[in-house]
Copies of this chain bind each other. A is one copy, B any other.
């Protein structure tokens, strides 16, 4: 029984990887770099997108918003005048807790791939399953808010291990928390040695410049392509 279950799961992940490769090929053909942006609910993903999406010189940004229901984040981002596409996962039973390659595949015809250089995909807020499903991205970034505690890397190691960049957010609240930033950074290093980290506050803007620079580093510039 257990063996059967494991095999079904492996088949599901194999199928996902196959579709992710097809997505990746489409993105590559269009010259679009794709970032899979993940975190627990309320860690500040949308605010971090608001901070940079309209302010990356020479890089045309698009956003794909993954949510169980509604379009609150897409509505927030609409004022930035970057193309935003909404993807709702609520069609699966009570709602899927992550994006997978096939959901992104179904969204591709709605994406203005010829008009963007960088696609920022905001995943469903969840520290488990989003890390298990590739979507055809070039890089995975996660946000860990200091309000969530220092132990999250140890409790959700796959998420921290799966990422090329870990953003530590909400440091403006540090004076009001019983929280040891060094301990969080140590725990991140335990589960993913030498992973790049950026410590910032999306609210005050402190440290956001490093996040902008990271995106500029991975995104193709218009002039570079032309």
Contact = CB atoms under 8 A, between A and B. Distances in A.
Contacts of A148: 41-42
A173 B154 contact: no
Interface in A153-186: 154-158, 170, 172-173, 176-178
Nearest to A177: B173
Given A42-B147, A145-B147, A155 B69 contact: yes
A9 B93 contact: yes
A58 interface: no
Copies in the complex: 2
Contacts of A145: 42, 147
A170 B156 contact: no
User: On chain A, which size bracket covers the interface?
Assistant: 35 or more
A147 B173 contact: yes
Interface in A1-60: 5-6, 9-10, 13, 40-42
B147 A170 contact: yes
Contacts of A138: none
